[in-house]
Amino acid sequence: MTRRTPVGGDREGFGAGQRRTGDEQLSGDENGEAQQRVLRDVDMGTPKQYSVVQMQRFAGFGVGLASLLTENVLSHPCIVFRRQCQVHHCSYRYHLQPFSVLNVMLKIQGAQGFATVWKGMTSRFVVQGIQLGSEGIIAEFTDFPREVTTHSTFKQVFKHIALKGLSIVVTLPFFCASLIETVQSDIASETPWVLDCVKEGFRRLLGWGAPTTTRLLPVWKLVLPTVLYGLLHYLITSVVQYIALVLLRQGKDRHKFDIDEPLADRNMLETYFPELFATFLGNLFSDVLLFPLETVMHRLHIQGTRTIIDNTDWGAGVLAINTRYEGMAECFRIVVREEGFFGLYKGFGALILQYLLHAAILKITKCIYDIMSENFTSRPKAPPRQRQQ
């Protein structure tokens, strides 16, 4: 007898065949995707591709190093002249634009030598080291966090700001000594030793060997303007930097890389440059907005120290600082009354020149990286992975 198969059995067999066909197709897609990953991993293992990765990492590090050197070394002559203009209370040339700044700086350098525009640079590094070290020590013995994120609580943010304020207070007397080394004229003073700012800072703090004059403000009177300036500068820089990073990442189609994407296919410049550019914008905004407060703070720090500075009007000769301010509010009033509102912005052209130089260095290093990347990476990119349907 012929055995008849039920109709339902035929349907079940047909459905199972369809499922097997679909599973085989899905398995084929997965196998093809896995093969592409293997081929990419093999390609990454070639010496040429490894060299591309190393070059990109080195270029990213070079961009960051160039920005760091520009911020702390190449821009130092502009910082020196800016501070001299800020404490020059009787000048009639305010140097609000960079063209007059260059003329006078070249005259001072020609009269006193190349090293005169780099004075006080080592003491700046010493002060930065003292501030970082004091932050670390205070954070070790307290529960104040050294870093905060967007997920930190208000209490953690407050403690972090308190940590910054305490480190500024600890650094204050050494900053006074560093400021004097930066603005004093080489003609009327001896070349300081590397750690002289530390010795002079302790003298300023303890009152040993201080000038016998009533114009010298005690350290406790300098705490308010110094801490106010330091905290505002830090907060403005952090906020602007965060906003800039958010906008830069929103402008990118891929602000988060795929973990399966080869490292050589990632542009390392897109990893380092947004951070550097955001830091640049943050410092620029804070320096511009707080320039009047910085002028007042520097004048209070330098008052009564018998410091002799270069003549910033013409670049020839020296003059002594002779002011009598009782505090931050009085300094604001006297400067506006006797020197006008723009007296708070003396030396602003040096700040413009400083950030123009910084922006030019960032642009040059970025162009060099682009040229090197185009010449070095000659192979076509790997095809993108097929998405699973």
pLDDT tens track for 140-192: 999 999 998 888 899 999 999 999 999 999 999 999 999 999 999 988 777 78
Instruction: State residue 276's pLDDT score.
Output: 83
Tokens of 303: 């008052």
| pLDDT in the model for residue 226 | 96
Helical ranges in 142-268 per DSSP H: 154-183, 196-206, 219-250
In a domain? residue 24 = no
Query: What was the pLDDT predicted at 2?
Result: 46
Answer whether residue 145 is part of any domain: yes
Q: Which residue has the higher pLDDT, 31 or 374?
A: 374
Q: What is the pLDDT of residue 57?
A: 61
Q: Would you state the pLDDT for residue 389? A: 46
Q: Taking a C-beta distance cutoff of 8 angstroms, is the pair 237, 278 a contact? A: no
Residue 293: which pLDDT band, with cuts at 50, 70 and 90? very high
Residue 30 reports pLDDT greater than 70: no
The residue segments making up the domain with residue 120 are 46-376
Instruction: Report how many domains make up the chain.
Output: 1
User: How confident is the model at residue 39, as a pLDDT?
Assistant: 52
The reply to whether 36 falls in a domain is: no
Look at residue 30 and tell me if it is in a domain.
no
Res 52: pLDDT: 53
Please check whether residue 22 lies inside any domain of the structure: no
According to the model, what pLDDT value does residue 208 have?
60
Q: What's the mean per-residue pLDDT of the chain?
A: 80
- Structure token pair of residue 322: 């002779």
The answer to whether residue 110 sits within a structural domain is yes
CA–CA separation, 59 and 279 (whole Å): 19
Report d(CA 345, CA 82) in Å as an integer: 10
Inform me whether the pLDDT recorded for 60 exceeds 80: no
Taking residues 233-251, report their average pLDDT.
90
In a domain, 25, yes or no: no
Residue of higher predicted confidence among 58 and 69: 69
CATH number at residue 344: 1.50.40.10
Measured CA to CA, the distance from residue 264 to residue 267 in angstroms comes to: 7
Percent of the chain past pLDDT 70, that is, above it, reads 71
**84 Cβ contact list (under 8 Å, min separation 6):** 183, 309, 310, 312, 347
Confidence class for position 377, pLDDT limits 50, 70, 90: low
**Whether the predicted pLDDT of 388 surpasses 70:** no
What is the average pLDDT across 127-141? Answer: 94
Least confident of 44-48, 81-85, 344-348: 44-48
Q: How many residues does the chain have?
A: 389
CA 255 – CA 270 distance, rounded (Å) = 9
Higher pLDDT: 63 or 126? It is 126
Considering the domain boundaries, does residue 183 fall inside one? yes
pLDDT > 90 in the chain, percent: 46
Per-residue pLDDT band for 271 (boundaries 50, 70, 90) equals: low
CB-facing half-sphere around the CA of 276: CA atoms within 13 A: 25
In this model, does residue 385 exceed pLDDT 70? no
pLDDT of residue 336: 96
Phi then psi for residue 184, to 5 deg, are -70, 150
More confident residue, 226 or 196: 226
Q: What is the dihedral of CA 47, 264, 35, 254, to 10 degrees?
A: 180
Q: Is the pTM of this model over 0.85?
A: no
- Highest mean pLDDT pick, 29-38, 69-78, 170-179: 170-179
pLDDT at 234 over 70: yes
